[in-house]
Amino acid sequence: MTFAELHLHLEGTLEPEHAFQLAERNHITLPWRDVDDLRSRYDYGCLQDFLDIYYANMEVLRTGEDFAELTDAYLARAAKAGVVRAEVFLDVQAHLARGVSAETVLGGVSEALRESESNHGVSSGLIVTFLRHLPAEDAERAYDQALATGVELLGIGLCSSEVGFPAAPFAPLWERARADGLHTVAHAGEEGDASYVWEALRDLKVERVDHGIRAMEDPTLVAHLRDNRIPLTACPLSNVRLKAVPSMAAHPLSAMLDAGLLVTVNSDDPAYFGGYLDDNIAAVCSEFGLTELQVATLANNSIEASFLSPAEKAQLLS
Ligand code: ADE
Ligand code: ZN
**Residue 160: CB within 6 Å of ligand 1?**
yes
In the reported structure, the alpha carbon of residue 64 is separated from the centroid of ligand 2 by a whole-number distance in angstroms of 23
Residue 313 domain flag: no
Tell which atom from ligand 1 comes closest to the C-alpha of 129: 1
Residue 17 domain flag: yes
Tell which atom from ligand 1 comes closest to the C-alpha of 159: 9
Q: What CATH number is given to the structural domain containing 277?
A: 3.20.20.140
Residue 37 domain flag: yes
Residue 315 domain flag: no
**Residue 187: CB within 6 Å of ligand 1?**
yes
Q: Which ligand is nearest to the CA of 6?
A: 2
In the reported structure, the alpha carbon of residue 68 is separated from the centroid of ligand 2 by a whole-number distance in angstroms of 20
Residue 78 domain flag: yes
Tell which atom from ligand 1 comes closest to the C-alpha of 242: 6
Residue 311 domain flag: no
- Nearest protein Cα to ligand 1, atom 8: 160
**Residue 269: CB within 6 Å of ligand 1?**
yes
In the reported structure, the alpha carbon of residue 186 is separated from the centroid of ligand 2 by a whole-number distance in angstroms of 9
- Nearest protein Cα to ligand 1, atom 9: 160
Structural domain including 13 reads: 3-306
Q: How many domains does the chain have?
A: 1
Residues with CB under 5 A from ligand 2 (ion): 268
| pTM (2 d.p.) | 0.98
Per-residue pLDDT for the chain (318 aa), expressed as one digit of tens each?
999 999 999 999 999 999 999 999 999 999 999 999 999 999 999 999 999 999 999 999 999 999 999 999 999 999 999 999 999 999 999 999 999 999 999 999 999 999 999 999 999 999 999 999 999 999 999 999 999 999 999 999 999 999 999 999 999 999 999 999 999 999 999 999 999 999 999 999 999 999 999 999 999 999 999 999 999 999 999 999 999 999 999 999 999 999 999 999 999 999 999 999 999 999 999 999 999 999 999 999 999 999 999 999 999 998
Active site residues: 190
- The number of beta carbons lying within 10 Å of the beta carbon of residue 24 is 11
